[in-house]
Amino acid sequence: MTATQDASAHPPFRGGALVTGAGRGLGLEIARRLVARGHLVHVTDVDGDLAARVAAQLGPRAFGSALDVRSFPACRAAASRTQRRAGSLEVWVNNAGVLFTGPAWEQAQRARELMLEVNATGTINGTLAALEPMRAAGRGHIVNVVSLAGLVPAPGEAVYAASKHAAIGFSLATLADLRLAGIKGVDISCVCPDGMWTPMLYDKLEDPGAAASFSGSLLHPEQVAEEVAALLDHPQPVLAIPRWRGVVVRLLDLAPGLSLRYAHRILAHGRRKQRRLLRRAKTGKLP
3-state SS, one letter per residue, for the chain: CCHHHHHHHCCCCCCEEEECCCCCHHHHHHHHHHHHHCCEEEEEECCHHHHHHHHHHHCCCEEEEECCCCCHHHHHHHHHHHHHHHCCEEEEEECCCCCCCCCHHHCCHHHHHHHHHHHHHHHHHHHHHHHHHHHHHCCEEEEEECCHHHCCCCCCCHHHHHHHHHHHHHHHHHHHHHHHCCCCCEEEEEEEECCECCHHHHCCCCCHHHHHHHCCCCECHHHHHHHHHHHHHCCCCEEEECHHHHHHHHHHHHCHHHHHHCHHHHHHHHHHHHHHHHHHHHCCCCC
> CA dist 196 to 88, 147, 201, 245, Å?
31, 10, 7, 13
Does 160 qualify as catalytic in the annotation? yes
Which entry of 160, 170, 197, 214 is annotated as an active-site residue? 160
Q: CA-to-CA distance for 83 and 205, rounded, in angstroms?
A: 41
Strand partners, 65: 44
Q: Which of 163, 171, 172 is closest to 70 using CA atoms?
A: 163
Q: CA-to-CA distance for 244 and 107, rounded, in angstroms?
A: 32
| Residues taking part in catalysis | 160
